[in-house]
Structure 1
Amino acid sequence: MTGRTPPWTTDRPTLERALPVAEVLRILRHELRDCGTRIDTERAPLEPFVLSRRAYEELFSAAAGLLALLRRAVLESAPTRAGRLSALGLAPDGHQYPLFSDDEDFEERYCAAMARPDVIIGAQGPQFIEFNVSGAFGGPAETHLLTRVWNEVYAHGGKGDAPFFGHDPLAARAAFFERVCDEAGLPRSVALVGSPYEQDKAATSRYYDIEVDVLRRRGMHAEFFEPDRLPHGLGLPERLDYPVGLRYFATADWTARGQSLDPVRSVLASGCLLLPSQSSYLLANKKVLAWLSEGLPWMSETDRALVGRYVPWSRVVRETKAEWRGRYVDLPELLLAGQEQFVLKKAIGMMGREVLIGRLTTPAQWAATVERALTDEDSIVQLYTESVPYELEMCDASETTAERVAVAPVLSPMLFGGRPGGCYARYFPSGESGVVSVYGQGAMENAVLTGVPR
């Protein structure tokens, strides 16, 4: 890949690194230890991705607007949970999403509580290619730590003022938990439910302990719980010591390795507000983003303009006609004839699994995948967005010299309770583009920051 910093970031602040490469690598390795990153083995970044303040804040305002539309699209698709599942082509018993609460008000109130969209910066600016809506997405702890690293590195070894600004995801999520507890009249007591297994089989629970520490420093009672400590670790059945919890796991990962969900069901049955609600996964279903792209009857002109600006053309794959550049065409024929223009994605998926980029696929594989998607009606097609390269300074983990490499990052502004919570990034240090995922394809991680006004 060749190219220079994209036009969308040309007015970003520039700062000079004050520490030698070896010292930067030492700080990175120390701060990110046992958090599932590949700082020890891969080419590591020597700076954050830096945007202008306008561009940085635009990511969050667009994310919040689109998330509100996703929520409305799901809730208005049908008046009942069974109807919404049916609208998404899912079994009415909801077995794909096994941790629904019986409290529909809770399900609807907190379905959009936490979100991390994935954004590609194309020639026309940011394009939101999907939304992760859950409590299990990666990025909060990494962004928290990397922001601390870059402010230390670029503040002359920690002896100057912090040169970068970034919303702190852990502080933002803690503030959300405080609001939930206060609004519900509950004690400020939060359980983080997860497993170190999710963090690349980490040897310790440090990844979660970092967030527990942030919560405790704000005066909250907080603790991390692995599944074998549930439900008794929360005081059950005699009492509920943690009335609010973070659902820091993906049910598909737990069930795939034989982990029972019964302890979590016991926690939910006790009345614990395990956030976000299971209905969040309905918003994350990629079909909903395709619905918005196609347009829904209740959408205003402002809604349609927001989607048109930030969401690449997307449709649910099925035997139908679709509007394409001002005219209606046969969708299957369009997909087969225009392979290089499109990406196929399973509607339910994570970590870049079952995503197929037409231009990186053989015609035979593309045709077979289109045929399967038409039969199962479980996928969407999306217009491919070419990332405008960003030149990032980095260094091989075994060297002491730096170089700038043009990379194609995926940026992820995070929202907690609808408020900004920092921006995470993944990219391939080689400069390759493609399906960018940390655990799926081995991408490197970084934070997205902006300069502090002087």
Structure 2
Amino acid sequence: MTSTAPVPAGAGHPWFHDPKRPEPSTLRTASPCEVTAMLREELAGLDVSLPGPWLPAQPFVLPRRSYDELFDVSRTLLALVRRAVLALGSSWPARAEALGARAEDYPLLSGQDNTETAYCSMMARPDVVIGEGGPRLLGFSFSGTFGGPNESHGLNAVWQRTHSERFFGHDPLVTRVRAFEDVCRSRGLPRAVAVVGSPGDLQDDADIRFQERELEQFRRRGFTADFFEPDRLPGALGRPGNLRYPLGLRTFATADWTERGQSLRPVHDAQRAGFLMLPPQSSGLLANKKALALVSEGRPWMTRAERRVADRHLPWTRITIPGRTGWRGLEHELPELVLARRERFVLKEAIGMMGREVLVGRHTAPEDWRQAVEAAFTAEDSVIQEHVEPSTCPLELTDGSGAFTARVTPVLSPMLFGDRPGGCWARYLPDDASLSASRGVISVGGAGATENVVLTWAGPTGAAAPEEAGGR
């Protein structure tokens, strides 16, 4: 980690810092060795990325106003993205066609359009960086498989034990259960849920511990909860109309299942028997980056207030369709603009994950950029997004023997479950050299970023029940 160096306490964007509070690094009560051991033990089996040699020695701790702003902005933009997709057609197959999506990419669309619509945005996780003017939302993930819930739960548990200050953070596992409670209440269903996952996701005893942790959160709130592999459905559920488990939490990706050559027929049969698996697969269409581009460009039904929120918190984003567009007060031919100002833009495939389908112009060779841009405009399968220069914040790091404060650039991911705040996950690269090697993409799967959790200060405005705050 040759380019990481200690920085003064409080360095970084003021959005990250509360001048009335002490530096979190001064509140650590555990030794670097103890912190490292606790991280490794608590997170074993969660597949959390702690690549080392430098691990986080503290959480990201935001002022309460900044912490709340993440969820407020995310909730508002989520509602706009949902409405933009719904306006594309009268049914989910029609909306998929309008987005240029292939039907085979969404094999579990239930055909129950009203139900799909009701719950398409039930579980959402945006990725946010802090620009010069505050939060800037780069994209959304929608599913029961996105990273963050278990990782944030485990990291929060460590930081509450290693610092003298009691921090506050919404617990994603608890909030997710409460979203299921809302479904049961609104539909008059018994509290019984089947967590449906792929057998390939369970590798050893530590993974089973992680699975049991999820089930225990449901059971603590009065649910009957058990884990099932997709091919055990519908036999494990009981006869149609009287299912032992009327609800399911989908924790597997359909692509992983079909790529192994395994049939989704048992899941279809369960759905036909009345099994409601959440989130429904219509949620995947909301993750299509073209939906974000529609909101960025502006829809006729958007109010002035909604337009201001989009302008402030969404980077300028357009679908790769040739034509004229406005950018920074002037009209441009979109392909010519993107080729001429490579350093100002990012190219993203509309359907992608872990940053693997992302090219950052300033980190891409000119000829590679030209070829990728031309291909994207030919296929019309991507979006162009204005590059946001992310701000830095201080974070204490440790190698297990010593610790120091460095400046890092985090991606923040506030999670929403049934519109409730559900905690905030974070990823960062420890130094400029790592960021350069990642070609400007900060992700765990694609760039090996280190994970952490975002918390805020506890107190009168942050008080919460111990199970929700993850307190000691």
Give TM class, smaller chain: over 0.9
Q: Indicate how the Cα distance of structure 1 residues 427 and 228 shifts in structure 2: closer, same or farther if over 3 A, else same.
A: same
**Quick one: which amino acid aligns to residue 457 of structure 2?**
G
Q: Indicate how the Cα distance of structure 1 residues 45 and 28 shifts in structure 2: closer, same or farther if over 3 A, else same.
A: same
> Is 2:429 the partner of 1:428?
yes
Structure 2 residue aligned with 1:125: 134
Partner SS, residue 315 of structure 2 = coil
Shift of 1:437: 1.7
Percentage of pairs with the same residue: 50
- Is the CA contact (8 Å cut-off) linking 1:36 and 1:200 kept in structure 2? no
Q: Indicate how the Cα distance of structure 1 residues 192 and 359 shifts in structure 2: closer, same or farther if over 3 A, else same.
A: same
> Is 2:291 the partner of 1:268?
no
Structure 1 residue aligned with 2:448: 442
Structure 2 residue aligned with 1:9: 16
Q: Indicate how the Cα distance of structure 1 residues 109 and 28 shifts in structure 2: closer, same or farther if over 3 A, else same.
A: same
Quick one: which of 459, 466, 472 aligns to 1:453? Answer: 459
Quick one: which of 362, 367, 372 aligns to 1:369? Answer: 372
Question: 1-side partners of 2:205 and 2:292: how far apart?
Answer: 33
RMSD, aligned CA: 2.0
Q: Which runs of 5+ in 1 are unaligned?
A: 156-161
Structure 1 residue aligned with 2:464: none
Structure 2 residue aligned with 1:307: 310
**Quick one: which amino acid aligns to residue 38 of structure 1?**
S
- Is the CA contact (8 Å cut-off) linking 1:29 and 1:40 kept in structure 2? no
Q: Deviations over 1:160-199 (max 9, x none)?
A: xx61000111111111111101211111011111236458
> Is 2:53 the partner of 1:52?
no
> Is 2:40 the partner of 1:25?
no
Q: Indicate how the Cα distance of structure 1 residues 40 and 225 shifts in structure 2: closer, same or farther if over 3 A, else same.
A: farther
Q: Deviations over 1:389-413 (max 9, x none)?
A: 12211122xx411122221111000
Q: Which runs of 5+ in 2 are unaligned?
A: 461-472
Q: Indicate how the Cα distance of structure 1 residues 173 and 303 shifts in structure 2: closer, same or farther if over 3 A, else same.
A: same
Q: Deviations over 1:308-345 (max 9, x none)?
A: 11000000011111111112100000010011111100
TM-score scaled by length of structure 2: 0.90
Question: 2-side partners of 1:237 and 1:264: how far apart?
Answer: 13
Question: 1-side partners of 2:241 and 2:386: how far apart?
Answer: 54
> Is 2:141 the partner of 1:138?
no
Tell which deviates more after alignment, 250-259 or 362-371.
250-259
Question: 2-side partners of 1:73 and 1:359: how far apart?
Answer: 30
- Is the CA contact (8 Å cut-off) linking 1:35 and 1:199 kept in structure 2? no
- Is the CA contact (8 Å cut-off) linking 1:36 and 1:202 kept in structure 2? no
1:171-186 equivalences under 5 Å are 171-186=174-189
1:358-397 equivalences under 5 Å are 358-396=361-399
**Quick one: which amino acid aligns to residue 26 of structure 1?**
A
- Is the CA contact (8 Å cut-off) linking 1:9 and 1:51 kept in structure 2? yes
- Is the CA contact (8 Å cut-off) linking 2:241 and 2:273 kept in structure 1? no
Structure 1 residue aligned with 2:466: none
Partner SS, residue 346 of structure 2 = strand
Count of aligned residue pairs for this structure pair: 444
Shift of 1:270: 1.6
1:82-231 equivalences under 5 Å are 82-91=93-102, 94-155=103-164, 163-195=166-198, 197-198=200-201, 204-231=207-234
**Quick one: which amino acid aligns to residue 412 of structure 2?**
L
Q: Indicate how the Cα distance of structure 1 residues 279 and 184 shifts in structure 2: closer, same or farther if over 3 A, else same.
A: same
Quick one: which of 264, 276, 296 aligns to 2:299? Answer: 296
Question: 1-side partners of 2:444 and 2:417: how far apart?
Answer: 22
Partner SS, residue 408 of structure 1 = strand
**Quick one: which amino acid aligns to residue 340 of structure 1?**
E
Question: 1-side partners of 2:119 and 2:60: how far apart?
Answer: 31
TM-score scaled by length of structure 1: 0.93
- Is the CA contact (8 Å cut-off) linking 1:255 and 1:261 kept in structure 2? yes
Question: 2-side partners of 1:442 and 1:90: how far apart?
Answer: 29
